[in-house]
Amino acid sequence: MGMTMTQKILAAHAGLEKVEAGQLIEANLDLVLGNDVTTPVAINEFEKINVKDVFDKSKVAIVPDHFTPNKDIKTAQLCKMVREFANEKEIENYFEVGQMGIEHGLIPEKGLVVPGDVAIGADSHTCTYGALGAFSTGIGSTDMAAGMATGKCWFKVPSAIKFVLTGKPTKWVSGKDIILHIIGMIGVDGALYKSMEFVGDGIQHLSMDDRFTIANMAIEAGGKNGIFIVDDKTLDYVKEHSTKEYTIYTPDEDAVYDEVYEIDLSTIRPTVAFPHLPDNTRTIDEVRDIKIDQVVIGSCTNGRLDDLRVAAKIFKGRKVAKGVRVIVFPVTQKTYLQALREGLIEIFIEAGIVVSTPTCGPCLGGHMGILADGERAVATTNRNFVGRMGHPGSEVYLASPAVAAASALTGKITNPEDIM
């Protein structure tokens, strides 16, 4: 039996010719990642290991992004702890406020992950980097500590689900709609501890930003990781952002998959996930008159340049509906600057929108966009659990930047086709 993309990467990093689903291995790591919430716990555990330095100063990355700029004294203390640790250990890839971004937008942008890498991060959406043909997955803070100390991590080799993407998405359908469609189809536990592997000629019609979005939300289907086959678009992105050596892994023809799904992208409609799970999905055609109070466009899922451009196209020359608050969060400082140069920020502000520094902010109910009891938000974020964005009595509807922008203009969940 052959191996999947993920299995080949893990085998290579474990120094083995072959691995099988369910096998326990110890793999070498190319990147260990943490943020301002998870790294303080990892630091405490690291100190218990009683080692002086991290295994490789260039292969550890720490990004304060969840509660930064610091929202209160407690978070300021946590960030101070992280900052002092990074300075003491001379960690090369520590990104302070002003140089940072939301971690899962920043890491690819900085070229720290390339095809064939194994990356772990103390954040569940570390699976984002599978868009580059890497194995990347979220882990706990204790594993982060061990990874920083040893450069290794134990894994149970995952089995896989194959998604064969064909066709071309229609105008207002993006990566967000595709992954919401998939999660709605298989459920939030449909890929539990499995590798979600994306292949097929439909991939050529997906931008890298679309692929990052899809890989980012693999965890919302329970996946261990999401991974895309590498093509010319991938390599163009890698060559633009990185000088690291990379290795391309393709699945064997006789690779074993638990399930195979064929998805014609041309048939997917703009999709919305209703409260309170990402698999509670409906197409935009099934949405009725749902009034909203807030719109959030941003996060590690949908704050990239393509996302901002689509939103700006809809907002241009228009005003946000009365009674609706809209917040835009560019994913990184570089993205923010490019949006500024292209005039996107001006469009947002003239439409009556608040534009924030890159931060996870409201996505996790952190700051800068908390919902009150009974309020509803349309968000381009990745989770809509009870209380995710604030009060347990609030509601979050997950959608693409296009649907979010259209909804902001009407004050209710709206199909962009209806106003453009």
Rounded Cα distance, 355 and 61, in Å: 26
Grouping H, G, I as helix, E, B as strand and the rest as coil, residue 28 is: strand
Instruction: Tell me: do 216 and 82 sit in the same domain.
Output: yes
Which of 264, 290, 307 delimits the end of a domain? 264
Q: Which of 309, 319, 311, 314 is closest to 350 using CA atoms?
A: 319
313 and 197 belong to one structural domain: no
> Within this chain, do residues 275 and 167 fall inside the same structural domain, yes or no?
no
Cα gap 292→386, rounded to integer Å: 17
Mean pLDDT of 19-46: 96
pLDDT of 1 > 90? The answer is no
What does 253-294 look like in DSSP terms, one character per residue?
A: TTB--SEEEEEEGGGPPPEEEPTT-TT-EEEGGG----B-SE
CA distance 104 to 332: 9
- Residue 172's pLDDT is 95
419 in a structural domain: no
pLDDT (0 to 100) of residue 252: 96
Tokens representing residue 288 in the block:
């009725």
pLDDT of residue 364: 85
Q: Which residues contact 337 (CB under 8 A, 6 or more apart)?
A: none
Q: Where are the alpha helices (DSSP H) in 269-418?
A: 299-302, 305-315, 333-341, 344-350, 401-410
Domain-located, residue 420? no
Q: What is the largest CA-CA distance in the chain?
A: 62
Mean pLDDT (the chain, rounded) = 96
**Residue 373 in 3-state DSSP?**
coil
H or E segment and range at residue 354: strand 354-355
pLDDT tens figures, 97-151: 988 899 999 999 999 999 999 999 999 999 999 999 999 999 999 999 999 999 9
Residue 297 contacts residue 315 (beta carbons within 8 Å): no
Pair 284, 255 in one domain: no
DSSP 8-state secondary structure symbol assigned to residue 1: -
Asked if 382 and 217 count as a contact pair (C-beta separation under 8 A), the reply is: yes
Whether 275 is covered by a domain: the verdict is yes
Q: Which of 218, 245, 264 is the last residue of a domain?
A: 264
> What does the alpha-carbon distance between residue 370 and residue 101 come to, in Å, rounded to a whole number?
20
Residue 50 has a pLDDT of: 87
| Same domain, residue pair 73 and 178 | yes
Tell me, yes or no, whether 82 and 121 share the same domain. yes
Residue 196, token pair as written in the block: 């979600």
Give me the number of domains the chain comprises: 2
Provide the residue range defining the domain that includes 314.
Answer: 271-414
- Asked if residue 264 has pLDDT above 90, the reply is yes
Q: Are residues 168 and 205 in the same domain?
A: yes
Asked if pLDDT for residue 319 goes beyond 90, the answer is yes
User: Is the same domain home to 257 and 294?
Assistant: no
- Report yes or no on 24 lying in a domain: yes
Tens-digit pLDDT profile for residues 204-224:
999 999 999 999 999 999 999
**Separation of CA 125 from chain center:** 5
313 shares a domain with 198: no
The CATH number that applies at residue 285 is 3.30.499.10
Residue 89, pLDDT score = 96
Q: What is the pLDDT of residues 176-202, one digit of tens each?
A: 999 999 999 999 999 999 999 999 999
Same domain, 278 and 258: no
Tell whether pTM > 0.75: yes
* Domain end position, chosen among 264, 298, 319: 264
Question: What is the 8-class DSSP label of residue 412?
Answer: B
